[in-house]
Homo-oligomer: A and B are copies of this chain.
Amino acid sequence: MSHAVLVNGKPADTVSAADRGLMYGDGVFRTLLVRNGQPIAWARHLRKLAADCAALSLACPDAGDLLRDVKTLTADIPDCVIKLVVTRGVGNRGYAPPAPPRATRIALRSLLPGYSLAHADKGVAVRLCSVRLAHQPRLAGIKHLNRLENVLARMEWNDPAIAEGLMRDEAGNVVEGVMSNLFVCHNSALTTPDLSRCGVAGVTRERVLEWAARQGIRVEVKHLSLEEVLAADEVFLCNSVAGIWPVRELEGRAWNRGPLTAAAQDWLQQHDD
């Protein structure tokens, strides 16, 4: 079995203790599904990584180096999860970055998670988290390494029957799942929360939005109240590893998987871009 971690392209288990990724969470990441050795939606992940790096004035690693990392890690494990992390590299003490900073590129391989197949079919039970997402427009949408809000939210439950938690912002709007994006369907239209103040704009969210636009489905990106979520005909969550999970249960409300959710699942499964 090949090594599970590459740091700057070389097999390694560790990074410098003075890396700014560790000191300050000064970096970004991607989590992607690899099937038959092919990273799903690779071009999108690359674009999103580049955009997130740019938002933090980080130098994005070369696309060829990133793909080589993925290929190296998946050579003899063609179905797995790859996490790519880019940090601002090793720094001196203090917040000012070294000039010029030299980014650290980390690629980590994990086994496919053991999610129940019923999650995609029957849907998942979801809880409402009490930790609220702060409004920080400068970091909103970016998948950066400052993830304590998500960690605190995930620590709110241990019940394995609860697959995901929904997070609201300080204003009470429902923004996302701890590890996923949220869609609701109402009167055959699709709504997903506006992420201009907080939340992570995932690649699978982007794929769903694009699918809906191509299908001529009406889509709205806006602030979404809990009441609107509970009043929806269908609710689903998505991320790059899980795909789409219908929400089966939230705050006493129950749903079956609906037609829009199933259509989005079909489309995602038939496309890898």
Interface residues of A (CB under 8 A from B): 5, 7, 12-26, 29, 31, 56-57, 81, 83, 85, 87-88, 92-97, 106, 108, 110, 113, 131-132, 134-136, 138-139, 144-155, 170, 178-179
Contacts and interface: CB of A to CB of B under 8 A. Distances in A.
What are the nearest 5 A-B pairs in CB distance?
A: A25-B25, A14-B14, A134-B134, A146-B146, A95-B154
Of A5, A92, A106, A146, chain B has the most CB atoms within 10 Å of the CB of A146
Contact of A93 (B13, B18, B81, B132): B81
Given A25-B24, A135-B134, A145-B24, A95 B151 contact: yes
16 contacts: A14-B16, A15-B17, A15-B22, A23-B145, A24-B145, A24-B151, A25-B146, A25-B148, A56-B151, A57-B155, A88-B151, A95-B153, A97-B151, A132-B136, A138-B152, A139-B148
Contact of A22 (B21, B113, B131): B21
A96 B152 CA distance: 9
Given A95-B179, A96-B154, A135 B24 contact: no
Nearest to A22: B22
Nearest to A133: B136
B148 A144 contact: yes
Given A134-B134, A138-B152, A152-B56, A147 B24 contact: yes
Contacts of A131: 138
Contact of A108 (B18, B81, B146): B18
Of A17, A138, A170, chain B has the most CB atoms within 10 Å of the CB of A17
A170 B13 CA distance: 40
A179 B93 CA distance: 11
A24 B95 contact: no
Contacts of A31: 93
Nearest to A25: B25
B22 A147 contact: no
Given A15-B15, A22-B87, A95-B179, 16 more contacts: A15-B17, A21-B22, A22-B22, A56-B151, A94-B154, A96-B154, A97-B151, A97-B154, A132-B138, A134-B134, A134-B135, A134-B136, A139-B149, A144-B148, A146-B146, A146-B148
Given A15-B17, A97-B155, A24 B139 contact: no
B22 A95 contact: no
B22 A85 contact: yes
